[in-house]
Structure 1
Amino acid sequence: MRPPAAAPVDAYRNLSRRCWSVRRAGRIAGHVETLFLAGAVFRVSVAGVRRIQARRAREVVAFVRGVPIESGAVPREALRVRFCPYRGPFFHLEDGAPVSAAALVILAADGSCWAVDPT
């Protein structure tokens, strides 16, 4: 018999605590310095981005969802992923290409986000 699969979590950068907040089933499960997520999907609330653009006030409108896995080193092939609500309602690579998912996402202690095989 197989062990149960790990449940996916949502993670976003907590700008007040300067760490990553982790949500499980809609509730905050904790705060971590680093997090590795497999099978990750980037999610953005378009309506939330519009509110930020109109009000210039911060709120959580974007997160990454994936299955937590054991941490390790950031792979050499990982690409930097960014999100800026003033650029648009999507995560993007350094060259501006939008990204919606990745095989592996690394949320680093310095606040950076890295993706392996982004699509």
Structure 2
Amino acid sequence: MRLDAYRHIRRGAWSVRRSSRVVGHVPTLILADVRFVVRQAARRRIVRTMQREVCAHVQGIPTDAARPLEARRVRFSPYAGPAFTLEDGTPIAAAALVFLGVDGACWAVMGDVECVR
């Protein structure tokens, strides 16, 4: 079953949604077959009003894989642009595996997945 996850800033955890309902909060999460989703109307509203709200999330299938080996850092800021990006500014829409860390970082593996336990 596909889940949505986004960073809950006040809790310092990842909120997990299933069918538009929050079902829990976790410190870390690993998802496979991931899509990066940005609601553009909400992003524009944030830029216009300067008030926070959830406008972006990752969507994928939970997995018990270990930490990705050659993962690349993924970032999102509604003020920086309309999409999730890699550190070099390249937009990203999907990934094979994503690790959502306790520190709020998002790491993605694009192709074949190798993990370390």
* TM-score in terms of structure 2 length: 0.92
Which residue identity lines up with residue 79 of structure 1 in the other structure?
R
2:67–2:99 Cα contact (<8 Å) kept? no
Which residue identity lines up with residue 50 of structure 1 in the other structure?
R
Equivalent pairs, count = 111
1:38–1:68 Cα contact (<8 Å) kept? yes
1:88, distance to aligned residue in structure 2 (A):
1.1
1:99, distance to aligned residue in structure 2 (A):
0.2
Q: In the TM superposition, what whole-angstrom CA distance separates every residue of 1:45-87 from its partner, at most 9, and x where no partner exists?
A: 1111100000000000000000000042231x10000000001
Q: For residues 102 and 114 of structure 1, what CA distance do their matches in structure 2 show?
A: 10
Q: For residues 50 and 31 of structure 2, what CA distance do their matches in structure 1 show?
A: 30
Unpaired segments ≥5 residues, structure 1: 1-6
Post-superposition, which runs of at least 4 consecutive aligned residues in structure 1 deviate over 4 A? none
Q: For residues 59 and 43 of structure 1, what CA distance do their matches in structure 2 show?
A: 14
Q: For residues 20 and 67 of structure 2, what CA distance do their matches in structure 1 show?
A: 29
Sequence identity percentage = 53
Q: For residues 108 and 74 of structure 1, what CA distance do their matches in structure 2 show?
A: 11
Alignment partner of 1:90 out of 83, 86, 90: 83
| Residue in 1 that maps onto 2:104 | 111
Unpaired segments ≥5 residues, structure 2: 112-117
Q: For residues 102 and 65 of structure 2, what CA distance do their matches in structure 1 show?
A: 12
Write the mapping of 1:3-82 to structure 2, written as runs, cut at 5 A.
Answer: 7-75=1-69, 77-82=70-75
1:35–1:71 Cα contact (<8 Å) kept? no
Q: For residues 25 and 19 of structure 2, what CA distance do their matches in structure 1 show?
A: 15
